[in-house]
Every structure is written in C-alpha cells, then in structure tokens.
C-alpha cells in the first residue's frame, strides 16, 4: 500500500503532490486523471497505483509493470498560461526524472529523444504526456512509469528493458525516489511556465548521446534516415538527411549501429 504520509513528509513542493489519490490497482492512472471532472481535478494532484491493468504508452501501446515493485503515477496540471512550447515538456520531464534517479542511485542516466530514459543503454522509464485543449491547453497529464525494483522482465523486452535495482544492485526506497522526482518536477514546471527552460534543457542535452549519430526514424509508414544535428528551441529534432535539414516532431527513433 502506498504510504501517503511518507510521500508528504518528503515533499518540499508547493502544489505538486499535495493532493494524492492512491489505488492498489487501477486500469491506468493517466486515464483516471483524464476522466476526472474539472471540479475534482486539482492542479498538482498525483494519482498513483501499485498495479495497473491497462498501463499504456503512446497510441495505446501496452506498458507492463510488476505490482508493488515500481512507480506508476500521473501528475495532473491545469496550466493558466498558453504554453505554446508544450512540446518541450517531455524532454524537461525526462531531465527532472533523470536528475532524481542520479541523486538516489548515483547511476549515469541517459536521455533519448524525445522522452526515453535509459540506463546502460536499456529503457528504464516511460513517460506518456497527454493534454487536452480547446483554444488553449486546459489540462496536462504527465504519466510516468519507472522500473524501480522489478528484477525479471518478460522475454520480449528482456534485452531492451531494465530496472534501477538491476543496474544499481540494491533495493531502492520507492517513496523517497518518488518525492525526489516530484520536488524536481515542480522546480522544472514552475520555470517552464515562466519560459525558463535553460537549466533542464541543457541538462537533457548533456545526457543525450544522439548528436552526430546516424539514426532511422519511423514516422507512420515512412522511414527517414539522417544524422542528428541538434535539438531546436521547441524540442524538435533536427536531422541532416542528404542535403536537407529535417525538423521532426514525431517518430520512433533507432540509433544505427556504428560501423
């Protein structure tokens, strides 16, 4: 069972994590946060579950997580400003989570465009950010699935996924880690709403090993190949492909094996 008091005792935040809704099992914390009525949805609220029956990634891809070993939670935000550069939020969130993992475990944490967190080249954390808008963004749901103390992974992902425990060698206090993530997330988000992205974006860039590498991007039914030049100020990826510079907002990235 999630120890709410312990979370609250370790928070230094003003709004993030001050309201906690916890479940033993839920279909998906993002889905729950999306369907909350406007009156019930509080800015900064977190929804956390020990187990998810329908954890999901982008385009409803399944996210599997062993019960009571990991962190699966959503942060609900109700921004007041227009946030036209919201595409930066996945990168900035990844940076905040990476900093927290590093503080708790001392592991070297790598970020991969746009929202992947890797340790020793294996995926450790999935971030699914969903938002709703009419004329401006009304609600943002930051879903984070972090493999903390899970030791065994199914065959299909064993070579590409890992947990903090598998890399660090020790069981990690999930609540201390969660509070650290929330503390850093609030600092990042407050800065972001003031258009101050410098610190977390440069941290993200320093963790990204894609620059100068040849990559392939699947983008719907197309494949684009090119060399990573830089990240644009809106978070998009700039590739050099033949003689063109290509600006990407979407796509699944594979880093080509170096010859």
Partner 1 sequence: MDLNYLKKITKILAESNVDEIEIEEEGLKIRVARHSQNSGMVAPAQQQYVQSIASAVQERQTPVSTAPPQPPAPAVIEKKYTEIKSPIVGTFYRAPSPDADSYVEVGKTINKGDVLCIIEAMKLMNEIESDISGKIVKIIAENAQPVEYNQVLFLIDPS
Contact (Cβ atoms closer than 8 angstroms) between residue 178 and residue 149: no
Q: Is 208 helix (H, G, I), strand (E, B) or coil?
A: strand
Strand ranges (DSSP E) for the chain? Answer: 20-26, 46-52, 71-77, 110-112, 116-119, 122-133, 137-146, 214-219, 222-231, 237-241, 244-248, 252-255
* CA angle, 34 then 62 then 2, to 5°: 60
Q: How far apart are CA 119 and CA 257, in angstroms?
A: 18
Q: Cβ atoms within 10 A of the Cβ of 246, count?
A: 17
Of 122 and 139, which CB lies nearer to partner 1 in the complex structure? 139
- Smallest gap from Cβ 188 to partner 1, in A, equals 15
- Smallest gap from Cβ 17 to partner 1, in A, equals 21
Of 198 and 257, which CB lies nearer to partner 1 in the complex structure? 198
Give the pair of three-digit tokens for residue 87: 């595409």
- Smallest gap from Cβ 155 to partner 1, in A, equals 24
Is residue 205 within the footprint of partner 1 (CB under 8 A)?
no
Per-residue contact flags (x/-) with partner 1 for residues 124 to 163, judged by CB under 8 A: ---xxxxxxxxxxx--------------------------
Q: Which of residues 1-60 bind partner 1 (CB under 8 A)?
A: 58-60
Is residue 90 within the footprint of partner 1 (CB under 8 A)?
yes
Q: Determine which residue in the list 12, 218, 250, 254 makes contact with partner 1, applying CB under 8 A.
A: 250
Residues in contact with partner 1 by the rule CB under 8 A: 58-60, 82, 84, 86-91, 113-115, 127-137, 219-220, 232-236, 238, 244-247, 249-250
């Amino acid at each position: 069972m999630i120890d709410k008091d312990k979370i609250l005792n370790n928070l230094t935040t003003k709004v993030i994590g001050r309201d906690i809704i916890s479940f033993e099992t839920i279909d998906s914390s993002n889905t729950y946060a999306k369907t909350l009525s406007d009156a019930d949805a509080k800015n900064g609220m977190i929804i956390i579950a020990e187990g998810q029956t329908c954890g999901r990634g982008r385009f409803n891809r399944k996210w599997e997580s062993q019960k009571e070993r990991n962190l699966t939670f959503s942060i609900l935000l109700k921004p007041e400003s227009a946030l036209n550069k919201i595409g930066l939020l996945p990168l900035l969130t990844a940076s905040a989570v990476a900093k927290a993992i590093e503080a708790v475990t001392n592991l070297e944490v790598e970020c991969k465009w746009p929202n992947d967190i890797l340790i020793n080249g294996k995926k450790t954390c999935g971030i699914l950010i969903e938002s709703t808008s009419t004329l401006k963004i009304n609600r943002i749901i930051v879903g984070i699935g972090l493999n903390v103390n899970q030791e065994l992974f199914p065959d299909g992902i064993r070579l590409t996924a890992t947990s903090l425990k598998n890399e660090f060698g020790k069981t990690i206090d999930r609540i201390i880690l969660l509070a650290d993530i929330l503390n850093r997330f609030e600092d990042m988000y407050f800065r972001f709403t003031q258009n101050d992205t410098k610190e977390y974006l440069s941290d993200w860039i320093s963790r990204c090993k894609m620059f100068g590498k040849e990559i392939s991007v699947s983008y719907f039914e197309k494949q684009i190949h090119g060399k990573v030049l830089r990240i644009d100020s809106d978070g998009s990826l700039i590739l050099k492909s033949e003689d063109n510079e290509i600006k990407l907002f979407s796509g699944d990235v594979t880093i080509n094996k170096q010859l």
